[in-house]
Structure 1
Amino acid sequence: MGRHRGRGRLLALAIAFIPLSTAFYLPGTAPRDYRYGDSIEVYVNSLTPMLNSKLRSLISYDYYDQVFHFCQPDGGPVKQPESLGSILFGDRILSSPYQVDMMYNTSCNTLCRSHVPKDDAKFINDRIKEDYGVNFIIDGLPSSEMRQDVKTGEIFLDAQGFNLGKADPQTQQVALNNHYDIWIQYHVKDNAQYRVVGVMVYPSSRDSSPVDGSSAANCKTDRPLFLSETNDNDIYYTYSVNFIPSDIPWGLRWDAYLHVFDPKIHWFSLINSLIIASFLVFMVAMVLYRTITKDISRYNAIDLSEDVQEDYGWKLVHGEVFRVPDRPMVLSVFVGNGIHLLIMAGVTLIFALFGFLSPSNRGSLATVLLICWTFFGCVSGYVSARTYSTLGGEQWKPNLVLTAILVPTVVFATIGLLNLFLIGSSASGAVPFGTILAILLLWFVISIPLSVAGYFYGLKHGPFPHPVRVNPIPRQIPPKPWYLNTLQAAILGGILPFGAAFVELYFVLSSLFGNRAYYAFGFLFLTFVVLVLTTATVTVLFTYFILCAEEYRWHWRAFMIGGGQAFWLFAYGLWYWASRLSFDNFTSVVLYFGYLFIVALLDFLLGGAIGYISAYFAIRRLYTSIRVD
């Protein structure tokens, strides 16, 4: 998955006066002041594939993996402390041998001489062809290259890192970048103190072998460095450091990194979503006002000329609509976990929206997601208990166990299987055993007890009372239109919620799989709200049509209709794979479809829970409004 460096967006009552594409930054760390000549630490991160024209791999590699033969610091690299979310998303931050001193401009510093065997040279050349990037971190800022958005003309710093090398598509020659020009922007606090506000690294390939009997590397050559795959190679790694002044204050130094690509597309997505949601709300309002209101008035009217008033349509199934559905325990477990995901995602987006997930705290978004999932386990227990008891369930013990462990077990088992593929590929993104143990402890020590507590709290509140009685003998169900069958209704019902979010989904997938940071949390939050609203209204509308067809088995249909958007999400993932990805190895294919399956599964549970809860309370309101003799 891509790195999620949180960038908040201010959205308060004055939203009309604040552009959604601007944001503010709540620092996660205090600024560091440097004096003239102070050492600036340079850290290295994993090598990751870059999303340029197409993404060619999902495997990241440790910077000091022995096959790359990069220069190491004296005494070996030192691992830096990282957050749980940072580790989960593949960050492996280590010290480096680069010597950078504040305000000291240097050129052609020889880092080391490295020996690369021919077999390893082939591995490096293959990674260059796959557009792998090198990632430095200096004073908490990622290495970047200054670029211009061709659509908006805006200058920004691309934080994907810099290329490991360059491959010529015509000659098929591959050149290794072994010289790095490091440009550091600084802001003067006063006459004696400086702060780093920008980091740019421009790589180049130079066959810098010493000439004329000299022992120093020759950085001034224009000859590129080609690694031979038939003979061993001796190469020199060199670098230069330049400091350039900047007027950017330290508190705004991330603004150049937090670039929103295609802002017009984001606005189009948001306006499109609002139009779809407004149309659906209008449709539901018309159904409730014109159709249902007239039905209720007619059903409640007393015809003095007739002793018996014949029921039809949705009132005809008033004695069946609250009948216990098939597999009520599984349904309640799914609904409880879906609402759990809804609260978790909503709270995390609110934190990101208001800037509490600082980009300087790497992996903060994933960390907050994991924390919210852990502490909102009580929500899944409470909702599952009330849903199961409302459906007439009596086996509360197995329902409690399934609520706490079923969905997390499926997700963790899938991620564990994918982790085995990462381990087999020697990828740095493989989750360490210690991190796995920490997550399991969070699950068993905090999440499960909270889920149990929430479940008993839900049992204490008991079931929701039904407004009408259930007939002892179920009535026959007449033939219904094809589009009201479960599968067809789920696919049709999922189109509009997916249509409300599919444009923003492209940028989310680029962040998850393409190692491209996502910062447009203002757009994402509003899209999420519209998605929830659209899912609820579509499900209520379809459920009303189902009841009008005298089909009273609406429970699973409502859940499937709400979760139907997951079908389209998976289909969109297939399109994204065909159009934007070009994997050269089987492991990347397995990883992509494994992660896509997890995302689609969670979306199915979230949407299904929204649909079921919306449909249930709409039906309660509907049948509370009529008089049944």
Structure 2
Amino acid sequence: MKMVGALVVFLFLVSGLRVEADGSNHKYHRQKAELVREILTSKANFVAASQLQNSNCKWSQKPPFSVIAVMSMENETETLDDNRNRRPCSDRKWNHVLVSLPPETYRYYDLPFCSPEHVKEKREDLGEVLNGDRLVDAPYELNFRVDKHNEILCKKTLSKEEVAQLRTAVLKDYYFQMYYDDLPFWGFLGKVERDDKMDPSEYKYLLFKHIHFDVLYNNDRVIEINVQTDPNMSVDITEDKEVEAEFTYSVKWKETDIPFEKRMEKYSKSSSMPQHLEIHWFSIINSCVTVLLLTGFLATILMRVLKNDFIKYSHDEESVDDQEESGWKYIHGDVFRFPKYKSLFSAVLGSGTQLLALALFIFLLSLVGVFYPYNRGALFTALVVIYALTSGIAGYTATSTYLQLEGTNWVRNLLLTGCLFCGPLFLTFCFLNTVAIVYSATAALPFGTILVILLIWTLVTSPLLVLGGIAGKNNKTEFQAPCRTTKYPREIPPLPWYRGTIPQMAMAGFLPFSAIYIELYYIFASVWGHKIYTIYSILFIVFIILIIVTAFITVALTYFQLAVEDHEWWWRSVLCGGSTGVFIYGYCLYYYYARSDMSGFMQTSFFFGYMACICYGFFLMLGTVGFRASLLFVRHIYRSIKCE
């Protein structure tokens, strides 16, 4: 127990380490501007979470100011946070750049903006680095309750190359994201307009030179901050020539009666406006009711069929006449015959059980409010920590199941369990991290972060996996089968094509997928777009319905499989239960081509690469649910009859 406690303490210490982040520039890809324009026109979107202890300031002090720079319009902006180790009202400011997709982010000073004499970089914790956040010092000075008017930031002579770079950013709807005292806000770099005087078919590219900050405060607390860019104060960057530009900013402080404790509520409402929330709930309820009605209808039919089977088999036992054996009763000597590839089968169940536990813990944290909007890196930190701590569940489940199936090499089974999910994920990460390095995106993890993750896997995940395996070995129990297994397997009769594995998987995955496909849009729009997801209660309800529907549809298909005397249901139940993951990946294809404007090799590879890992995780998790439900069902029906 002391060893386990030490490992847990080490894990939490490591997950909080500050990791030096790096990043550089790259050409910028085009995306649409409508979503961010919607954000920029809504004040509600400019309020986010903050740390309560870091916000009371005195006159002339500078609350923490962060800047996320130029980004394109398609996807959700990355969030920034101030250094938690600095004093409450320090003057540090942080810059960051996001392009097109959350993974494709770049540094603020990759574009030729005004920069401080000495740029300071923030050391971020593990979750922030995994989130792609890279913060550097920003040039603006917003002293507490000190108004400024047309304060000169800097005067620059933009070279031809810099003008071309900025023009490309304006053309592709880049915008910046800033943070002040943990509050995010956004603004455009410039605009494109028709040159009516010269040629209506020609366009002018204008770069905004002035930014105006409106800051709301209550006593010594910063409550809200908004930013405005002045279209009338711009410089023409249409032509490839040197341009003289003077960048300025203004600050206006306004008092408000909004309490500090409620400044986050307004931001949360931005992602769940009443009309949108009503439509969201209606869509989810409509989908869930439809699925549950279909499930209930199928359950009623199944129960009646089972009742008739029990009556029939009880009459057969009382009858003295010889009858031809048929149906699920007469394969009782084969139905509990252990499956092929026992080690892989046990590893699937172990990994699936761990991922199910991981999902439940994540939902628990989300429901208690841990993942509030723009709590940067909290989700990634939780995923790493909880996955490491639940590895013992995988080891225990896999080893105990493997030994129940009369396996002999439990050590090899344990190694397979540890690599079954982490292996494909690691290979995918290596490829995508290489892509990010080539693109010079901040999604490329620095060596220090990779080393920290490897240390967690080596010193926490692996030992807990081994301890779980040892516990499973020591608590070995016999497989509880209500019927004896015959020495030789019974021959499976010829079956029609729709009784095959692939058609059965298609039928098994469709109903659970139909219960979640509406919610998938909101999740995808949050992960790969601008939308901010805060209604975790809906997501949890949908997840529970997914588990229930998956379990039942797998049970139903298992019964129909046994009814035609096909006793090889072990692997079939796993494949049918996990087939929803295949449907989700199919939805990825639809979302990519029909609902998003993603383009370019990096965006495409990140989207399909990481979604493949997520869908694979769903396959393992739901496959485990399907098998466990089928096992309970099969044991129940065979206990209900007399088996010779």
| TM-score normalised to structure 1 length | 0.84
Q: What whole-Å deviation, never above 9, does each CA across 1:278-321 have from its counterpart, x for those lacking one?
A: 33552454255322233234324575550656542111221111
The residue number in structure 2 matching 1:202 is 228
Q: CA deviation at 1:539?
A: 0.9
Cα distance in 2 for partners of 1:593, 1:79 equals: 32
Q: 1:162 aligns with which of 167, 171, 187?
A: 187
User: How far has the Cα of 1:118 moved from its partner?
Assistant: 2.4
1:118 to 152, 160, 170: 160
**Worse overlay, 483-492 or 458-467:** 458-467
SS at match of 1:92: coil
Distance in 2, matches of 1:624 and 1:100, equals 74
Q: 1:472 aligns with which of 477, 481, 487?
A: 487
1:178 matched to which residue of 2? 209
Report the 3-state secondary structure (helix = DSSP H, G, I; strand = E; otherwise coil) of the residue aligned with 1:137: strand
User: In structure 2, what is the Cα distance between the partners aligned to 1:349 and 1:624?
Assistant: 36
Aligned residue runs from structure 1 range 474-513, under 5 A: 474-513=489-528
Q: Determine the structure 2 residue equivalent to 1:211.
A: none
Q: Which residue in 2 is equivalent to 1:347?
A: 361
- 1:44–1:63 contact (8 Å) kept in structure 2: no
Match of 2:589 among 568, 571, 574: 574
Question: Match of 1:233?
Answer: 243
**Residue 356 (structure 1) aligns with:** 370
- Structure 1 CA distance for aligned equivalents of residues 572 and 105 of structure 2: 45
Distance 1:75 1:595 in 2: 37
Q: Deviations over 1:384-412 (max 9, x none)?
A: 12332233322212111011123102102
Q: 1:25-64 maps to which residues of 2 (within 5 A)?
A: 29-30=52-53, 32-45=55-68, 47-51=70-74, 56-57=100-101, 60-64=104-108
1:51–1:583 distance in 2 versus 1, CA, 3 Å: closer
- Distance in structure 2 (CA, Å) of the matches to 1:229 and 1:343: 58
Residue 502 of structure 1 and its aligned partner are, at CA, apart by 0.9
- Which deviates more from structure 2 when the two are superposed, residues 494-503 or residues 122-131? 122-131
Partner of 2:416: 402
Q: In the TM superposition, what are the counterparts of 1:28-427 in structure 2 within 5 Å?
A: 29-30=52-53, 32-45=55-68, 47-51=70-74, 56-57=100-101, 60-66=104-110, 68-76=111-119, 78-143=120-185, 161-168=186-193, 171-188=202-219, 194-205=220-231, 222=232, 224-228=234-238, 230-258=240-268, 259-261=270-272, 262-279=276-293, 281-283=295-297, 285-287=299-301, 289-301=303-315, 303-306=317-320, 308=322, 310-359=324-373, 361-427=375-441
What secondary structure, in the 3-state scheme, does the structure 2 residue paired with 1:243 have? strand
Partner of residue 458, structure 1: 472
CA contact (8 A) 1:186 1:245 kept: yes
| In structure 2, C-alpha distance between the alignment counterparts of 1:381 and 1:333, rounded to whole Å | 8
Instruction: Give how far 1:604 is off.
Output: 1.6
CA contact (8 A) 1:377 1:447 kept: yes
Deviation at 1:123, TM superposition (A): 3.2
Distance 2:50 2:205 in 1: 41
Contact 1:56 1:131 in 2 (8 A): no
Q: How far did residue 237 of structure 1 move? A: 2.2
CA contact (8 A) 1:273 1:527 kept: no
Q: How many residues align?
A: 565
Q: 1:484 to 1:119 in 2, by over 3 A?
A: farther
Structure 2: unaligned runs, 5 residues or longer: 1-47, 77-98, 195-200
CA distance in 1, matches of 2:156, 2:404: 69
Bigger mean CA offset, 307-316 vs 401-410: 307-316
Give CA deviations for 1:577-624 in whole Å, capped at 9, x if unaligned: 112333443222222221222222222222212112211222122222
Provide the C-alpha distance between the structure 1 equivalents of 2:100 and 2:52, rounded to a whole number of angstroms: 35
Cα-to-partner distance string for 1:430-471 (whole Å, 9 max, x where unaligned): 111111111111111111111111122222232432121111
Give the aligned partner of residue 599 of structure 1. Answer: 614
Task: Tell me: CA distance 1:120–1:329, structure 2 relative to 1, closer, same or farther (3 Å).
Answer: farther
Return the alpha-carbon distance in structure 1 between the equivalents of residues 176 and 334 of structure 2.
63
| Matched-pair identity in % | 31
* SS at 1:255 equivalent: helix
Name the amino acid aligned to 2:370: F
Q: Secondary structure at the match of 2:236?
A: coil
Alpha-carbon distance in 1 for matches of 2:574, 2:319 = 43
**Contact 2:573 2:627 survives alignment (8 Å):** yes
More helix by share: 2
Cα deviations across residues 142-162 of structure 1 (Å, max 9, x unaligned)?
A: 11xxxxxxxxxxxxxxxxx32
Alignment of 1:521-560 (within 5 A): 521-560=536-575
2:70–2:108 Cα contact (<8 Å) kept: no
Give the C-alpha shift of residue 196 in structure 1: 0.8
CA contact (8 A) 1:90 1:428 kept: yes
Could you tell me which amino acid in structure 1 is paired with residue 191 of structure 2?
Answer: K
Query: Partner amino acid for 2:423?
Result: T
The question of whether the paired residues in 2 share the 8 Å contact of 1:494 and 1:562 is answered with yes
Q: Secondary structure at the match of 2:605?
A: helix
Whole-angstrom distance in 2 between the partners of 1:615 and 1:457: 26
Following superposition, the deviation at residue 418 of structure 1 comes to 0.5
Number of the residue aligned with 1:209: none
- Using CA pairs under 8 Å that are at least 6 residues apart, name the structure with larger relative contact order, 1 or 2: 1
Partner of 1:15: none
Matched to 2:606, the amino acid is L
CA distance in 1, matches of 2:579, 2:236: 52
Q: Is the alpha carbon distance of 1:368 and 1:566 closer, same or farther for their aligned partners in structure 2, counting shifts above 3 Å? A: same
- 2:7 is aligned to none
The answer to whether the 8 Å contact 1:79/1:93 transfers is: yes
Three-state SS of the structure 2 residue aligned to 1:241 is: strand
Q: Is the Cα contact below 8 Å between 1:280 and 1:534 reproduced in 2?
A: no
Summarize the Cα distance change of 1:472–1:580 in structure 2 as closer, same or farther, 3 Å threshold: same
| Counterpart Cα distance in 2 of 1:52 and 1:87 | 19
CA shift for structure 1 position 84: 1.7
- For residues 156 and 499 of structure 2, what CA distance do their matches in structure 1 show? 67
Q: CA deviation at 1:353?
A: 0.9
Deviations 1:143-184 (A, max 9, x none): 1xxxxxxxxxxxxxxxxx322333448745433233211111
Where 2:244 maps in the other structure, the secondary structure is strand
**Aligned match of 2:198:** none
How far apart are residue 246 of structure 1 and its match?
A: 2.0
